[in-house]
Amino acid sequence: MWGPSHCCLILCLWACLDALPVAVDKTKVSPPVEELEPPKSEDTGLHYDRYLREVIDFLEKDPHFREKLHNTDMEDIKQGKLAKELDFVSHHVRTKLDELKRQEVNRLRTLIKVKQDMNGEKGTIVDHQALLKQFEHLNHMNPHTFEVEDLDRLIQSATNDLENFDKERHEEFKKYEMMKELDRREHLKTLDEEARKKEEEHYEEMKKKHADHPKINHPGSQDQLKEVWQESDGLDPSEFEPKTFFNLHDTNGDGYFDEQELEALFTKELEKIYDPAREEDDMQEMEEDRLRMREHVMNEIDTNRDRLVSLNEFITATDKKEFQEPGGWETLEQNPVYTEKELREFEEHLAREEHDLNLKTNDLLKQREELERQQDQLNANKMELQQAVQHMERLKIQKTETPVQAKVPSAVEILPGDTRPMSQGHQQDLPAHF
C-alpha cells in the first residue's frame, strides 16, 4: 500500500521537531548536545523522491536554513519565501546540493533515453511533453549548480504532485472498476443463455456476500478509535484517553499522525469488509476504501492542511460533537464510483483508442512493407552491380592471359610493287614461276 509522505509536504518534514534545538547558547557551559537523526519518512511515491529527501537532509544540516525553516509557515514555504534563504547556507551544503543536482540530471537523462529507445523498438510515438515533465522539479537549463530557482521548483512540484496524487489514485481506481465491469459483460456475451444466467446469479450472490458484514464505524469517530484501543492496544474502552491513544499510534514519535499512521488505524474496520481468502472481496477496493477513510479524517482534523495531524489538532477533534455522535459511513458497495453513463462513455473512449491504434498499426505495417520493397529493390540493384563488376573482372583476366603472337605476312599478302627483300625462307616457299 502506498501513502504519500507527510511532514509538511516538502521541506518542513522535520523542522518542527521540539526535540531538536534550533540554536545553542554557547555562553553556558554544558555537555555537547547530541544531534538526533530525523525520523525516516515513507516513500512519497514521486519519481524524484530520493532527490527530494537528499536535498531536505542537507538543507536541514545548515543552522541558518534550519532556523528559517522552523519559523516559516507552510503557506510561505509554498509561495517560495523559504527558497530565497538558500543564498545564505554554507559553502559545504551548496557544494553538496550542486552534486545532488548533477546526479539527478544524469539520472533523468538516462531514464529519458531508455524510454525513447523502448518506444523506438515498439514503433510508438515518443511523447516529448511527458518526457520533459520529468524535469519540472529542477532547472535543467543549468545542470551544474543548485540555485534558488531549483529549490523553488522542487517545493512547487512536490506540493502540486502530492496534492494531486490522491485524485489520480481515485481516477485510476475508477478506470479499474469500469474495465472490470466491461470485461465481465464481454464474457457474458460469449456464453449461451443458460450459462449466462448461471453467471449472473453467481455475480449477484457474490455481491450479497460482500455486503454482508458487521457495522462499519465512522472513520476517526470515538467508536472507531475505541475499537482500536480495545482490540489492538488491549485496553479498556471505558478508559479511552485521546493523548495516550495518540502517543501509542504515533509510531515514529515525531508528534504527528502522518498519512501512513492514520491509515493504519482503519485496518480493523477494513477487515470487517475484506478478506483476501474470499472470492467476493477485491483487495484493490479495500485500498480505495482505506484512502477514502483517510481523506475524510484529514478533511475533518487537519485544519492547517499540511497533510499531518498534530496532537493539538487530534485533541481538538475529539472534543467535537461529530467525534462522539458521528453520522453514517458508506462503503464502496453503497457508494459506486461510476455511473452507467460514465461506463458507456468509458467504453466509447476505449473503442476510439482501439480504432486509432488500429489505424496507426495499419499505417506502420504499410510503412514497413514499403521499406521492405525498397530494400528488395536496393538488394536487386546491388546484385546487378556486383554481376557487372564480376563480368568486367573476367574480361580483364582473359585479356591478360591470352599470348600475343607476331604476325608474319603471307604470300598472298605481298602486294604488287612491293620491292622489300624477302627472307630466304619466304623465297623457298614461292612457286616456281616466280
**pLDDT tens per residue across span 343-381:** 999 999 999 999 999 999 999 999 999 999 999 999 999
Answer for the pair 297, 262: CB distance below 8 angstroms, yes or no: yes
CA 260 to CA 140: how far, in whole Å?
33
Average pLDDT over residues 402-426: 53
Choices 1.20.1090.10, 1.10.238.10, 1.10.645.10, 3.40.50.720: CATH for 191-338: 1.10.238.10
**Domain boundary assignment for the chain:** 49-162, 191-338, 342-390
Answer for the pair 123, 366: CB distance below 8 angstroms, yes or no: no
What residues form DSSP beta bridges with 309?
A: 257
Structure confidence at residue 80 as a pLDDT band (50, 70, 90): confident
Answer for the pair 255, 315: CB distance below 8 angstroms, yes or no: no
Structure confidence at residue 422 as a pLDDT band (50, 70, 90): low
Structure confidence at residue 122 as a pLDDT band (50, 70, 90): low
Q: What is the mean pLDDT of the chain?
A: 82
Least confidently predicted of 81-85, 142-146, 409-413: 409-413
C-alpha cell belonging to residue 360: 496507426
Instruction: Supply angle C-alpha 76, 81, 87, rounded to 5.
Output: 150
Average pLDDT over residues 162-184: 91
CA 254 to CA 311: how far, in whole Å?
10
pLDDT the model gives residue 399: 80
CA 172 to CA 134: how far, in whole Å?
20
